[in-house]
Amino acid sequence: MTWGEIQIIALQKMFAKDEPIKVESLNTLRNDDDCKWYLSAMPAVANEAIQRIKPYVKNIYEYDEKNKKYKKTEVDKIDNDTDDDFAINYPEDACVLIPLYIASQLYKDDDISQATAYRNEFETGLQDLICNIENQESIKEVY
């Protein structure tokens, strides 16, 4: 999942837009009075979400072709300069939780009951990660 997709999903949750929003529309939305504050606040909140999710996916490994070995999955910090096509290097089950966390944090002042519902979905999703994502304690090289 990309950073742009996460932003779009979070906006759709907060604003319940009838028409679909495309990632290509983010630059326009950054100047929109309804959306610009939310979009500028999203990087910090997304980093909070990533840190909350990290313990549940901390033992996920990926193969590094260059060095010919496995390494732990890491996610770079997101900021206002992060490209919309930046891929979050977590399993899809974990990535779908980030927009829920963003909506739960940024929508508190607008609709506390909806923000609470999103937070509950996020917390339930965290617990589901324990069952859905295979956490690897170690990797053995097989020749």
Q: 5-49: per-residue pLDDT in tens? A: 999 999 999 887 667 888 888 988 899 888 899 999 999 999 999
Give me the pLDDT at residue 19, please: 73
Q: Which two tokens stand for residue 40?
A: 């500028």
* Across 12-16, 53-57, 88-92, 139-143, least confident range: 139-143
Residue 119 has pLDDT above 80, yes or no: yes
Of residues 43 and 69, more confidently modeled:
43
Give me the pLDDT at residue 142, please: 57
Residue 136 has pLDDT above 70, yes or no: no
CA distance 129 to 98: 13
Give me the pLDDT at residue 57, please: 78
Residue 3, Cβ density class (10 Å: 0-12 exposed, 13-18 middle, ≥19 buried): buried
Beta-carbon neighbour count of residue 108 at 10 Å? 14
Mean pLDDT of the chain: 86
pTM for this prediction: 0.82
Give the H or E element holding residue 131. helix 112-132
